[in-house]
């Protein structure tokens, strides 16, 4: 803690969340560095953080977003604990859901990956206008930091409504096949293909957003269009069973999976994830991580396998110029 009462080391993934993967009284956690491809054990306080990450100088003097972030974390922590303890998403109130929506909005914009992506986008734009152009889009490190922090400050107002409007589900897995978490833990995927327009974004149709809560629990936020898709799929299976157009043995497992998903959506019960589901979930954490992946177990074979197949994963995802 510095003389101004603001923590000098500032975390872009909250310590309270990372501690859910900690072992023992000292909050030891296993970490994997994608760039060095080395794993190590460390304390939660030493990871997913940088010195003065949310502090900047303005015409009004030194300003820090750290106190506001700490307040939001303090409000979010007991809500997440309640979800995990109750093993249900239905335990939270409308106000608590709004708090978590603000938390998700902030988490999306507070990480080292977000700043790297912002810098990358500026580089792409500068390349398009050309180095000889009178228009300069490049920024100094401090200017880039100020831009990122401005976006972070506006994040709840800009994004919370999109999170609140999603289908909220609680995912659960076994201790034998745990969820992992990374330094950019809000991961996304989408089965829709929109071509050059891309299919990843908080408000994009079909988007699925995930946040690990613990090795055994995670929060999923799906596009509302998923509800109709699952209902339609279930009706199609019923139709095939009625018409005997396909073997009941082939349809039974699919019907159970769809019914369980609809129950998770409509009743708030946890959606039990299979080993394959967990593998997909964890692969998203590896893909979205800027550099570090964390686990309660010293097993990063998935990350190593993905890096062996694609060395570009040594850094987080970057937008590509079309």
Task: Say if residues 237 and 255 touch (Cβ distance below 8 Å).
Answer: yes
Report which secondary-structure segment, H or E, holds 190: strand 187-190
Q: Pick from 207, 192, 200, 141: which is nearest to 319 by CA?
A: 200
Q: HSE, CB side, 13 Å, CA atoms: give it for residue 75.
A: 15
Map tokens 């990358």 to a residue.
Answer: 120
pLDDT 10s digits, 206-217: 999 999 999 999
* Confidence at residue 131, expressed as pLDDT on a 0 to 100 scale: 53
Domain boundaries, the chain: 63-284
| Stronger pLDDT, 48 or 239, i.e. the higher one | 48
Q: Does the pLDDT at position 51 exceed 60?
A: yes
Angstrom distances, CA of residue 312 to CA of 84, 180, 184 = 35, 20, 16
* Confidence at residue 1, expressed as pLDDT on a 0 to 100 scale: 47
* Confidence at residue 188, expressed as pLDDT on a 0 to 100 scale: 97
Q: How far apart are CA 168 and CA 135, in angstroms?
A: 44
- Bridge partners, residue 64, by sequence: 55
Is residue 130 very low, low, confident or very high in pLDDT (cuts 50, 70, 90)?
low
H-helix segments, 165-288: 225-243, 248-267, 275-288
Q: How far apart are the first and last CA of the chain?
A: 46
Q: Does the pLDDT at position 237 exceed 80?
A: no
Q: How far apart are CA 220 and CA 203, in angstroms?
A: 15
* Confidence at residue 297, expressed as pLDDT on a 0 to 100 scale: 96
DSSP 67-134: HHHHHHHHHHHHHHHHHHHHT-STTS-HHHHHHHHHHHHHHHHSSHHHHHHHHHHHHHHHHHH-TTSS
Q: Does the pLDDT at position 236 exceed 50?
A: yes
- Bridge partners, residue 185, by sequence: none
Average pLDDT of the segment spanning 131-155: 77
SS3 211: strand
pLDDT 10s digits, 226-235: 878 877 877 7
- Bridge partners, residue 30, by sequence: 41, 295
DSSP 24-59: TTTTEEEEEETTTTEEEEEEGGGSSEEETTTEEEET
* Rg of the chain taking only CA atoms, in angstroms: 21
| Stronger pLDDT, 305 or 27, i.e. the higher one | 305
Q: How far apart are CA 254 and CA 257, in angstroms?
A: 5
pLDDT 10s digits, 80-99: 999 999 999 999 999 999 99
Q: For residue 196, what are its two tokens?
A: 């050059």
Q: For residue 232, what are its two tokens?
A: 């339609």
């Amino acid at each position: 803690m510095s003389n101004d009462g603001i923590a000098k080391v500032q975390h872009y993934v909250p310590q309270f969340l990372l501690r859910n993967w900690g072992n023992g009284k000292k909050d030891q956690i296993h970490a994997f560095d994608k760039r060095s491809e080395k794993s190590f054990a460390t304390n939660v306080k030493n990871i997913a953080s940088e010195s003065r990450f949310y502090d900047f100088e303005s015409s009004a003097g030194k300003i820090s977003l750290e106190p506001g972030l700490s307040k939001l974390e303090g409000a979010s922590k007991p809500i997440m604990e309640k979800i995990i303890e109750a093993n249900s998403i239905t335990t939270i109130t409308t106000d608590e859901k709004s708090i978590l929506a603000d938390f998700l909005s902030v988490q999306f914009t507070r990480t080292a990956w977000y700043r790297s992506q912002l810098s990358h986008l500026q580089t792409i734009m500068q390349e398009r206008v050309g180095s000889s152009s009178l228009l300069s889009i490049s920024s100094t490190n401090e200017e880039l930091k100020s831009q990122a922090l401005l976006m972070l400050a506006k994040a709840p107002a800009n994004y919370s409504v999109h999170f609140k409007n999603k289908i909220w589900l609680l995912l659960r897995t076994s201790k034998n096949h745990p969820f992992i978490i990374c330094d950019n833990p809000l991961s996304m995927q989408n089965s829709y293909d929109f071509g050059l327009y891309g299919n990843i974004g908080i408000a994009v149709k079909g988007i699925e957003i995930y946040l690990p809560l613990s090795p055994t629990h995670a929060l999923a936020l799906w596009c509302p269009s998923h509800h109709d898709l699952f209902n339609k799929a279930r009706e199609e299976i019923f139709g095939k069973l009625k018409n005997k157009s396909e073997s009941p043995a082939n349809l039974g497992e699919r019907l159970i999976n769809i019914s369980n998903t609809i129950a998770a959506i409509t009743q708030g019960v946890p959606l039990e994830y299979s080993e394959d589901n967990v593998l997909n979930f964890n692969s998203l954490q590896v893909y979205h991580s800027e550099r570090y992946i964390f686990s309660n177990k010293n097993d990063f074979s998935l990350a190593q396998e993905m890096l062996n197949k694609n060395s570009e994963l040594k850094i987080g995802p970057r937008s590509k110029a079309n």
